[in-house]
Amino acid sequence: MKSKHKLFHGKTLAILTGGGDTPALNSSIESIRNRASFLGYKVYGIRHGWKGLLGDGDVLDLSHQPYDGFYGGTALRSSRTNPFPSKKKPENRVPQILRNLERYKIDVLVSIGGDDTNGAAKRLYETEGIPVIGFPKTIDNDLRTRTMHNYNGKEIEAVLCPGYPSAVKGIMEFTGRIQTTAESHSRIIVLEIMGRDAGWLTGGAVFGGSELALVPEFEMTKERKEFFLETVKERYMSSPKKSLVIAVSEGVRWYDEEKGKTDVVYASSEVDEYGHPRFGGISGIIASDIYNKLHIEARAQSTAYFARSGECRLYDRRLTTTLADKVVDLLLREEYGQMPVMSKMVKYQELEEFNCSSIDMGDIGNRPLSEEYYNIDEFKFTDAFEDFLAHILGKPHFLKFDYDFPIVIPRD
Ligand code: F6P
């Protein structure tokens, strides 16, 4: 029910963060907290995601505390707790959530998360009438934010989620650094990059100088794998320093000769409360296939949590504050079940607020890389993707030292 005169009512808003951490979470919390406080809300933080609303609750008062939004991770902590029954936890814990919302007198809930966390929030809104507002976050960048990217007059559906800009910058930097080791040892380095079922994050390696990439969106069938290995050989042999960095998404489906089928590689058989397994290990398999078939020295290297950790980068700082402004809008209008998003990629910060909208929190998950962004025939991200990335990262960043010393020939 809509209440009159919501402004400066002194009601209570609670923020929670769920799922994997990102460098932009504290920035999101701080931006939302500051704006909600201006509106007169008392602001609480729920610890460990949905878990903080189970049992006796684990709730902090964020109202008047100093906060460093540039510091990565989440001061509220996070978990992959699912309040709804799942295979792993069949118990329905929604009554505990409702009881705690009542006990702590929480009027509005802002859930900062990906598809799982926001999906649960949306369900609470639909089934229990809890006023919720979603706030996007993911390093995988796989939420359907419907952010349009104009490239050479063509509108491409892109994604822009807080967390991704910082993480993709980390991937660019990591890739840029590893080049010197690949060059020094005349090696191929197969770099494994998080991202689950989407290749958005792997794309950051392009601006770090990686020339070939594999993404989960395209299955590496027997034929494709053979062609890929030929391409690897050709690229390596023609590279000036006999080195190559290949970026591979953790969720790549790779043909396994022994099994006679393509499959993803799991780090463990365990699944979380939302039913997701953990990927990990594909780079080792690809590196040994390269060595065994091409006889070129190849090493696997995982970027693991490197992209997810560390400080919030400037682009994310801007993005989170712009989206938090939109949260104010939703609060004032009492429009719940919505999530603020950027509706367009824009070059200038001043234009962001005019290109911000909100979408329904439901049905936002698993947006793969747009087909315009990757070319499977060349195992490469396209120019359109580089243009998308340039909006976020500016220019590519990798070391390049083109030495050309003359060879000494002994006089016999
Ligand atoms: O969804 C974010 C993400 O970092 C994925 O890229 C990755 O597959 C997963 O989380 C790893 O999760 P965990 O925190 O369980 O290691």
**pLDDT at residue 142 greater than cutoff 60:** yes
What is the rounded radius of gyration, in angstroms, for the C-alpha atoms of the chain?
23
- Centre of ligand 1 from the C-alpha of residue 272, in Å: 11
Q: What is the pLDDT of residue 275?
A: 94
Q: What is the pLDDT of residue 292?
A: 98
- Centre of ligand 1 from the C-alpha of residue 194, in Å: 7
Ligand 1 nearest-atom number relative to CA 305: 4
Position 1 confidence tier, pLDDT thresholds 50, 70, 90: very low
Helices (H), 55-109: 94-103
Q: Is 279 in the pocket of ligand 1 (CB under 6 A)?
A: yes
Ligand 1 nearest-atom number relative to CA 308: 4
Residue 137, Ramachandran bin (φ over 0: left; ψ between -120 and 50: alpha; else beta): beta
Q: What are phi and psi of 255, to 5 degrees?
A: -70, 130
Q: What is the pLDDT of residue 401?
A: 82
- Centre of ligand 1 from the C-alpha of residue 103, in Å: 33
Burial class (CB in 10 A: 0-12, 13-18, 19+), 391: middle
Nearest CA to ligand 1 atom 4: 20
**pLDDT (average), residues 368-392:** 97
**pLDDT (average), residues 117-123:** 96
Say if residues 283 and 173 touch (Cβ distance below 8 Å). no
349 vs 24: which has the higher pLDDT: 24
According to DSSP, residue 220 is labeled B
Q: Is 340 in the pocket of ligand 1 (CB under 6 A)?
A: no
Residue 281, Ramachandran bin (φ over 0: left; ψ between -120 and 50: alpha; else beta): left
Task: Record the pTM.
Answer: 0.96
Q: Is 196 in the pocket of ligand 1 (CB under 6 A)?
A: yes
**pLDDT (average), residues 354-373:** 92
- Annotated catalytic residue: which of 115, 116, 140, 289? 140
- Centre of ligand 1 from the C-alpha of residue 7, in Å: 38
Position 184 confidence tier, pLDDT thresholds 50, 70, 90: very high
**What is the enclosing helix (H) or strand (E) of 158?**
strand 154-158
Q: What is the pLDDT of residues 80-113, one digit of tens each?
A: 999 999 999 999 999 999 999 999 999 999 999 9
Q: Is 194 in the pocket of ligand 1 (CB under 6 A)?
A: yes
- The answer to whether 360 is a known catalytic residue is no
Q: Which of 17-31, 267-281, 331-345, 350-364 has the lowest mean pLDDT?
A: 350-364
Say if residues 136 and 356 touch (Cβ distance below 8 Å). no
Nearest CA to ligand 1 atom 15: 278
Position 362 confidence tier, pLDDT thresholds 50, 70, 90: confident
Q: What is the pLDDT of residue 94?
A: 97
Average pLDDT taken over every residue of the chain: 95
